[in-house]
C-alpha cells in the first residue's frame, strides 16, 4: 500500500512539471540521434546508418553544453564505402516558451564543433580535420523526462585530404533522456515532505 501511494505521489509531481522542467539549470541531457537509415533489400544491397550519441549539462535555463560523438557508414554492393566520424563539443539553446500547438514541445538550435572526417574507399575523396555543424530542431516531451526530436543540420568538414571541404544536410531523429540535477531532485524531496 505504501509503495503504491508513494508511486502515485511521485507520478503526480512528475506530471506537475511542464516542458520547462527538463531544460532547467543543472539538469542533464543524455541520448542520441540517428540519420540516413537505409536497409536496401533490392539488388544493390545498400546499407547506411549515422549514429550520434550526445550528453549535455544545462548551464542555465534553456542552454545546454556538452559533447557528441558521430559514426556513420554508407555502403552498397559493387560500390565504394563512405565512412564518417567526429567527436567534439555541442551547444543547444531552447526557445523560451512552450509551443502553443504542442504544449509539451520546444524548438531549439544546435551547434557543434570538433574533429572529424569523411572518407570514401576505392580512391574516393577523403577529408579529415575541423568538423562544424549547426541547425534547428524540435523536441517533443512524451513524458517529463523523455523527449523525441527531429533535427535538420548542416555538417561540414574542412581540413586535410584530397578534398579540402565536404558538407551535407541531414535530417535526423533522436531520443533524449532529461535527468534531474541536484536542484530539481532537492525541490522534489522538499515537495514530498
Question: What confidence tens digit (pLDDT) does each residue in 11-69 have?
Answer: 433 433 444 568 889 999 999 999 988 887 777 788 999 999 999 999 999 999 999 99
State how far the alpha carbon of 99 is from the alpha carbons of 45, 61, 104, 180, in Å.
Answer: 41, 17, 7, 22
Which triple of cell numbers denotes residue 110? 544546435
Which triple of cell numbers denotes residue 5? 501511494
Whole-structure pTM over 0.75, yes or no?
Answer: yes
Query: What confidence score (pLDDT) does residue 129 get?
Result: 94
Taking each helix axis from N to C terminus, what angle separates 2-16 and 182-192, rounded to the nearest 10 degrees?
A: 130
Given a cut of 80, whether residue 188 has pLDDT beyond it is no
Among 31-40, 158-167, 169-178, 180-189, where is mean pLDDT lowest? Answer: 180-189
Q: In whole angstroms, give the CA distance from residue 74 to residue 76.
A: 7
- The domain that contains 110 carries what CATH number? 2.40.160.20
Given a cut of 80, whether residue 6 has pLDDT beyond it is no
Query: What confidence score (pLDDT) does residue 7 get?
Result: 42
Domain region containing 118:
2-192
Total count of domains within the chain: 1
The overall average pLDDT reported for the chain is: 83
Amino acid at each position: 500500500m505504501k509503495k503504491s501511494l508513494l508511486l502515485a505521489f511521485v507520478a503526480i509531481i512528475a506530471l506537475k512539471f511542464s516542458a520547462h522542467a527538463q531544460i532547467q539549470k543543472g539538469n542533464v541531457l543524455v541520448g542520441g540521434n540517428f540519420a540516413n537509415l537505409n536497409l536496401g533489400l533490392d539488388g544493390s544491397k545498400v546499407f547506411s546508418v549515422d549514429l550520434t550519441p550526445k550528453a549535455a549539462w544545462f548551464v542555465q535555463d534553456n542552454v545546454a553544453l556538452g559533447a557528441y560523438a558521430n559514426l556513420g557508414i554508407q555502403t552498397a554492393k559493387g560500390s565504394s564505402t563512405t565512412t564518417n566520424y567526429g567527436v567534439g563539443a555541442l551547444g543547444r539553446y531552447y526557445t523560451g516558451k512552450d509551443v502553443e500547438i504542442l504544449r509539451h514541445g520546444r524548438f531549439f538550435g544546435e551547434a557543434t564543433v570538433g574533429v572529424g572526417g569523411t572518407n570514401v574507399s576505392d580512391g574516393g575523396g577523403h577529408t579529415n580535420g575541423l568538423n562544424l555543424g549547426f541547425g534547428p530542431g524540435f523536441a517533443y516531451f512524451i513524458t517529463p523526462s523523455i523527449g523525441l526530436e527531429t533535427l535538420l543540420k548542416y555538417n561540414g568538414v574542412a581540413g586535410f585530404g584530397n578534398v579540402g571541404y565536404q558538407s551535407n544536410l541531414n535530417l535526423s531523429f533522436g531520443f533524449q533522456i532529461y535527468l534531474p540535477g541536484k536542484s530539481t531532485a532537492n525541490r522534489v524531496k522538499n515537495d514530498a515532505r
